[in-house]
Structure 1
Amino acid sequence: MLVSAAVCPSPPLLVPAVAAGAAPELEGARAACADALGVLAAARPDRLIVVGPVGEDGTREYSRGAVGSFRGFGVDTSVVLGSQPEGTERLPVSLAVGAWLLERVRWTSAPVSGLGVGERLDAERCVRAGREIAAGPERVALLVMGDGSACRTVKAPGYLDERAAGFDTAAARALAAADVAALKVLDAELAYVLKAAGRAPWQVLAGAAEDAGLGGELFYEDAPYGVGYLVAAWS
Structure 2
Amino acid sequence: MSLNATNSNLPPYSEKTPQSAPSSQTTDNSNRIAGTVYTCSIRDFQVDYLTIVRESATSYSIALTVDPTPLYRIELVSSSTKVGDIQIFLASDSTLPAIAAARLSANPKSKSEPSATICTSSPHLPDALWRPLARVGGMFAVDDYQSAIPIVTVPGRKAAPHQFSWRVGSLSEPFYQLLWDGPLPLVPSAMFMNDQRGSEYVFATLARKTSPEGGDNLVQIRRGAGLEFELSVILELFVILHLKNEQLI
TM-score higher than 0.5? no
Higher helix share: 1
Q: Which has the larger radius of gyration?
A: 2
> Which has the higher relative contact order, 1 or 2, with Cα contacts under 8 A spaced 6 or more apart?
1
TM (normalized to structure 2)?
Answer: 0.23
Higher strand share: 2
TM (normalized to structure 1)?
Answer: 0.24
